[in-house]
Amino acid sequence: MPQTIVESKTKTTIIGFDQPFCVIGERINPTGRKALAAQLEAGDFCTVEKDALEQVACGAAMLDVNAGVVFHSNPNPNETEPPLMRKMIRMIQEIVDVPLCIDSSVPDALEAGLEVCGGRPLVNSITGEEERLEAILPLIKKYNVPVVAISNDDTGISEDPEVRFQVARRIVERAADFGISAHDIIVDPLAMPVGAVPTACLQVFELVRRLRRELGVNTTCGASNVSFGLPNRQGLTAAFLPIAIASGMTSAIMNPIRDQEMEAVRAADLLCNNDANAAVWIKANKPATTVTAKGRRRRRAG
């Protein structure tokens, strides 16, 4: 069974079918976060620091790091993003010990991150687009790191799951030409919003099974996509994740601060026999011990 090995300077995480689901914290990303974007342009990393510590405390096994800010002072990300990514990666790996996921659409920012990142980070991402493959695969080979492969190509994102599967297959084949093995490719089969495409999730579940069976690759997705445009997005994601996990999905880029979704992941790990002796479940659901005014310990009702 394929295992994708990711590492920080001190910690190894294995992504694989017989492993606990790998939660990749999505919070360190200025997209849609104006305050964070302004902070990053000003060189203020206090929110990044808080997000890093909090996500790891909530159980993230990895952290995604995205430096995609368009600076007001210089609107060219090709110039601003690489040094920002370098700073962010350096800072984050000093305060947390989980492996990182270097996330950028700017190839130079990916390389800047790879230069300073200890261990074996994950790169996010390649697609089936020719230009992207040519730019990123040599980096993946040079640094010997795993990569997220999103199953769209130069023709865009297909609504046909068969096309998305074939795009993934081509990426795996192209990577093989560079000497990169399938176990270092983590395919994102693209979960579309179920509110727009009623069969979107059924497609993803089936794609995950095929990707596992036929290509032997690990898989991931942006878990919150499926609920886009619908109310109670957490409630939907908390049902999506267990089905995805039981279908063979091995990681997701998601928000570990959300209790309901993390509980769903822990429950699915247990139900799918990836939590030996229910140890993680029992620990996460221990009644809290509180100290009363009289100094006696009391158990809160569960």
Q: Which residues here bind its own copies, judged by CB under 8 A?
A: 194-195, 198-199, 201-202, 205, 226, 230-232, 235-236, 238-240, 242-243, 245-247, 263-264, 267-268, 270-273, 276, 278, 281-282, 285-287, 302
**Smaller CB separation from its own copies, 11 or 209:** 209
Q: Convert 79-93 to b/e letters by CB count within 10 Å (16 or more is b).
A: ebbbebbbbbbeebb
Quote the least distance from Cβ 211 to its own copies, whole Å: 17
Task: Name the nearest CA neighbour of 257 among 22, 20, 21, 27.
Answer: 27
Task: Name the nearest CA neighbour of 222 among 163, 157, 287.
Answer: 157
3-state secondary structure of 107: helix
Task: Name the nearest CA neighbour of 39 among 27, 47, 49.
Answer: 47
How many Å apart are CA 80 and CA 193, to the nearest integer? 32
Quote the least distance from Cβ 154 to its own copies, whole Å: 30
**Smaller CB separation from its own copies, 118 or 195:** 195
Quote the least distance from Cβ 12 to its own copies, whole Å: 24
Quote the least distance from Cβ 195 to its own copies, whole Å: 6
**Smaller CB separation from its own copies, 1 or 271:** 271
Quote the least distance from Cβ 263 to its own copies, whole Å: 5
Q: How many CB atoms lie within 10 A of CB 106?
A: 19
Quote the least distance from Cβ 236 to its own copies, whole Å: 5
**Smaller CB separation from its own copies, 91 or 243:** 243
**Smaller CB separation from its own copies, 236 or 253:** 236
Phi, psi of 168 (to 5 degrees): -60, -45
**Smaller CB separation from its own copies, 163 or 239:** 239
**Rounded (10°) angle between helices 200-210 and 161-177:** 40
**Smaller CB separation from its own copies, 178 or 281:** 281
Quote the least distance from Cβ 45 to its own copies, whole Å: 31
User: DSSP states of 130-168 as a string?
Assistant: HHHHHHHHHHHHHHT--EEEES-BTTB--S-HHHHHHHH
Phi, psi of 62 (to 5 degrees): -145, 160
